């Protein structure tokens, strides 16, 4: 398991910033898209960086 720092923005507004443990970036993205924080919310930028 790796740790990833995830930041999600809509324009200049920060929607989500957290650390997610996952096997790879695909798992992080799947977790993000299922999470209630992003469900039915517009966003323009997702950044996933390995810690």
Residue-wise pLDDT tens digits, 8-48: 999 999 988 999 999 999 999 988 888 766 777 888 999 99
Q: Do 20 and 4 meet the contact criterion of CB atoms below 8 Å apart?
A: yes
Query: Distance between CA atoms of 41 and 51, rounded to whole angstroms?
Result: 26
Look at the alpha carbons of 20, 23, 28, 31 in this order and tell me if their dihedral is positive or negative: negative
pLDDT at 6: 95
pLDDT at 37: 67
pLDDT at 32: 84
Q: What is the pLDDT confidence band of residue 50, given thresholds at 50, 70 and 90?
A: very high
């Amino acid at each position: 398991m790796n740790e990833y720092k995830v930041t999600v923005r809509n324009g200049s507004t920060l929607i989500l910033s957290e650390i997610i443990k996952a096997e790879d970036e695909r798992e992080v993205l799947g977790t993000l898209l299922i999470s209630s924080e992003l469900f039915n919310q517009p966003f323009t930028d997702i950044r996933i960086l390995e810690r």
